[in-house]
């Protein structure tokens, strides 16, 4: 069973209001509901799309989240995302693996999350939900959303049903 309060409590040991920069996402690790949804970093980002946050030896928000939840780790290891969402800082989605295990994991086929509503698709590049509608043969882009329900609501609003 996933308890958001427990995870937030663990992350709240991190200084400079770490948890204030985290929102609950709508992406889950396929077939692992007990790990809960992604917790998305919203502040600043590294080029690699990882959250930027300095803590002890960590440069990434996901690394800091891992340390907060599990204690320090062997620095020759890399922190891998089970959810493939680079900006995710849910410690249950993170594990410390060797560089070569990480490369292997990257080659695994990825199950894309599905929105469950027409016009809303997962955009892998931005790690957000992309909303669009077709009207009179034209396609309109409505934006990218962190939240799948907001994206679906927007599509319904514009489409009118």
Q: Is 7 or 83 the residue whose CB approaches Zn ion more closely?
A: 83
Q: Which residues contact 145 (CB under 8 A, 6 or more apart)?
A: 128, 129, 130, 131, 151, 154
Interior angle at CA 151, CA 128 and CA 38, nearest 5: 40
Radius of gyration of the chain, Cα coordinates, nearest whole angstrom: 17
In the complex, the residues that contact Zn ion under the rule CB under 5 A are 38, 83, 85, 88, 90, 93
Q: Is 83 or 151 the residue whose CB approaches Zn ion more closely?
A: 83
Q: How far is the CB of 93 from Zn ion (least distance, A)?
A: 3
Nearest to 53 by CA among 10, 94, 89: 89
Q: Is 108 or 138 the residue whose CB approaches Zn ion more closely?
A: 108
Q: How far is the CB of 80 from Zn ion (least distance, A)?
A: 11
Q: How far is the CB of 158 from Zn ion (least distance, A)?
A: 29
């Amino acid at each position: 069973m996933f308890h958001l309060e427990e995870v937030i409590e663990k992350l709240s040991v991190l200084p400079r209001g770490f948890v204030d920069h985290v929102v609950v996402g709508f992406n889950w690790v396929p077939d692992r509901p007990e790990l809960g949804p992604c917790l998305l970093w919203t502040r600043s980002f590294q080029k690699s799309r990882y959250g930027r946050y300095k803590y002890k030896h960590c440069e990434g928000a996901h690394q800091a989240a891992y340390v907060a939840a599990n204690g320090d780790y062997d620095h020759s290891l890399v922190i891998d995302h089970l959810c493939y969402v680079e900006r995710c800082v849910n410690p249950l989605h993170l594990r410390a693996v060797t560089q070569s295990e990480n490369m292997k994991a990257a080659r695994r086929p990825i199950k894309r999350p599905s929105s469950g509503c027409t016009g809303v698709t997962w955009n892998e590049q931005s790690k957000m939900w992309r909303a669009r509608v077709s009207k009179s043969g034209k396609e309109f882009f409505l934006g990218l959303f962190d939240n799948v329900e907001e994206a679906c609501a927007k599509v319904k609003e514009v489409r009118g049903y």
